[in-house]
Amino acid sequence: MGVLAISLVRLLDVISFIIVIQCVLSWIPSIRMSKIYEALSIITDPIEEPIRQVQYRYVSLPIDFSPLIAILLIQLIQRLIFIIFW
């Protein structure tokens, strides 16, 4: 497998980890106003915002499932990379 494919898979791993960290930090109300949370939001919002828009258009639940869906999509992309470059 090429160096580019491995690097892309590792980058997607890092993004998934950042999404998980942001989800855990969102449970703590005082951290939501911190610079760390804002920095993580800058990274994850371009990924999660389109998912939120589709989710809220079709399902009106009070729970935001966009991080879970984003991680599942990232894993799907990683598997496609393995299939293509293997």
- pLDDT tens-digit series, residues 1-54: 789 999 999 999 999 999 999 999 999 988 888 999 999 999 999 999 999 999
SS (H, E, C) 29-50: HHHHHCHHHHHHHHHHHHHHHH
Cα 57 to the center of its chain, rounded Å = 20
- Is the per-residue pLDDT at 86 higher than 90? no
Report how many domains make up the chain. Answer: 1
Q: Quick one: pLDDT at residue 61?
A: 82
Range of the domain at 41: 3-85
- Is the per-residue pLDDT at 75 higher than 80? yes
- Distance in angstroms (rounded) separating the CA atoms of residues 28 and 21: 12
Single pTM value for the model: 0.88
Q: Quick one: pLDDT at residue 60?
A: 82
Q: Quick one: pLDDT at residue 62?
A: 86
What type of residue sits at position 37? Y
